[in-house]
Chain A
Amino acid sequence: MTTQTEPEVDTQEILKILDSRKKEISVTLKSCAHCSLCADSCFLYRCRKNDPEYMPSHKVINSIGTLSRKKGKVTRDELEDIKEIVWKRCVLCTRCYCPLGIDIPSMIALARKICRSQGVVYQYDEEKREPQK
């Protein structure tokens, strides 16, 4: 019997995507004042009883922020966590409002692209329906 081994994460590939939009990412992460004024503009934040994990800036910081801080050296588990953030906690509706004009959806979309490049994709057909909390 063969045990299924998880494929390695291709750090170079991730780095290539990150580098293609380097300045944009660094400026986004730097200029975010961590003020949380974007919270209420996300309908998911409000539907989920104001859970901070659904706040637009929280999602960017923990997806693109993590990837860029670790320079692409993430494990598959970490990519799976990022997958949860960028697919389950954001629907790219582009309604979020940041007074500093940070383009949150474009960063989430970029994180999705990086996940996809590693074959980490959200499978809607495998979704377990849980009762709404």
Chain B
Amino acid sequence: MFISDLINGPLVRFSFICFFAGTLYQVLSFITLSKTRDRHPARQQRAAPERKKESDLLDRTSFAYRFAMFRLTVFGRYPVMMAVTIIFHLALILTPLFLFGHNILLDVSTGLHFPSLPESVTDSMTMTVLACCLFFLFRRLFVKRVRAITTFSDYMMLSIAGAPFLTGLLAYHHVGHYETMILAHMLSGEIMIMMLPFTKFIHMIYFFINRFILINQNTLGKGGSRVWR
């Protein structure tokens, strides 16, 4: 069948080319559109003046103080959401990489492969991703502040991220017609890979640019080195 031949071979290669070329394009266009900025000369020269330590009323090493500070971070304010999003992203990225079925295909086509996790483990990771997707969906539907900024594209993003996991799970458990399910799985996976550098999934690239390279009030690490323009 023509369509299945397309999905089986050329489209896989095309989607990976799209992903790597698109990522390269995004990184290069960021580099050309931004410039390095040194720290302000006054700040560079002057070392922080020695301050006489005043005795502190607060015991800043106490658990109570540290816990109070922790409560102010995004992890402290939205603990459930942060836990779910970390589990979601870890499983989302690790599952396809260390999946036995994928590694076989990778070995056949390139001769290289990643180590594989036991299939029972990846199977539960797949279900975890789907459960997290459901959590995000319900949050979008029922939490007022999330609904206020939700657009159609957010539902699309959730479905595109969830589709390869749903179809992969169904195919693995041979629910429905296997051949069709695997085709649907490959197609949805290819669509997701192709879209990564161009759609809302661009946050995968810009998370690192925003938080480690661009200078702003929330830059992590050494405080960043570049600014826009």
Binding site for B on A (CB under 8 A): 20-21, 23-24, 27, 30-37, 39-41, 50, 52-53, 55, 57-58, 61, 94-95, 97-103, 105-106
Contact = CB atoms under 8 A, between A and B. Distances in A.
A97 B218 contact: yes
A44 to B, nearest CB: 13
Interface string B64-104: 00000000001001100110010000000000000000000
B143 A36 contact: yes
A14 B61 CA distance: 52
Contacts of A57: 149
Given A30-B202, A33-B203, A101 B149 contact: no
A23 B29 contact: yes
Interface in B134-154: 143-151, 154
B229 to A, nearest CB: 7
Interface string B172-194: 00000000000000000000000
A34 to B, nearest CB: 5
A129 B77 CA distance: 32
A31 B157 CA distance: 12
Contact of B218 (A31, A61, A101): A101
Contact of A100 (B147, B207, B219): B207
B146 A27 contact: no
B206 A31 contact: yes
Given A33-B157, A52-B145, 12 more contacts: A24-B229, A31-B203, A34-B149, A37-B78, A37-B81, A40-B77, A55-B149, A95-B217, A100-B210, A101-B206, A101-B218, A101-B219
20 contacts: A23-B30, A24-B33, A30-B203, A31-B206, A33-B157, A33-B203, A35-B146, A36-B143, A36-B148, A36-B149, A37-B78, A37-B82, A40-B74, A40-B78, A53-B148, A58-B148, A61-B149, A100-B207, A100-B210, A106-B216
* Residue among A57, A99, A101, A105 with max Cβ neighbours from chain B (10 Å): A101
Contact of A97 (B74, B82, B151): B74
B154 A101 contact: no
A101 B214 contact: yes
B203 A100 contact: yes
B228 interface: yes
* Residue among B145, B154, B207 with max Cβ neighbours from chain A (10 Å): B145
* Residue among A33, A36, A40, A41 with max Cβ neighbours from chain B (10 Å): A36
Contacts of A39: 145
Given A36-B143, A98-B218, A101-B219, A31 B33 contact: no
